[in-house]
Structure 1
Amino acid sequence: MAKAIFQSIELYFSFFMSYLFVIGKHTFIALIAELTMRRHLIFLFFIVMVFILAIVVKIENDQKKRQELSKLELVKKKVN
């Protein structure tokens, strides 16, 4: 009788430990997936910031070109 109780306790314990291992394994995999996604999000954020910076620089250069062209047109009008 005691042997049967011990075997059933051992069976439940092994089931519980395997359950904890599976939960831990999935938690570890989820943690790795989360870190990988976070790394990709940081990389995506960096690319977006570089793209925005490039747009701002292009807009500033276009404004400078317009100012220089307007100055050149004023000089042409004064010469004529």
Structure 2
Amino acid sequence: MSIAFTLTVLLVVSSIHCQTIEIATGTFAQDEPSSTLCFNPCSDKLGDKECKTICLNKAYKDGSCIGFGIPPTSKYCCCTK
């Protein structure tokens, strides 16, 4: 029973962690990327260079690790149009 509970909690946490956050300031045509897309936290393996590559592959013009919070406590990979 406790193993099933633990696996359920891990599944929920991992699915929330990998969801993308889209910040849109207007109406966009279908298949057109919104102005900003932020997702996975930056780490040693996911830095500015890797973030930019992912963003370019998603049809954005640029990408970098941007800090959130006051003071910024965590950085997320954000793509910009």
Please confirm whether the aligned pair reaches a TM-score higher than 0.5, indicating the same fold. Answer: no
Structure with larger RCO (C-alpha < 8 A, sep 6+): 2
Q: Which has the higher strand share?
A: 2
Q: Which has the higher helix share?
A: 1
Which structure: larger Rg?
1
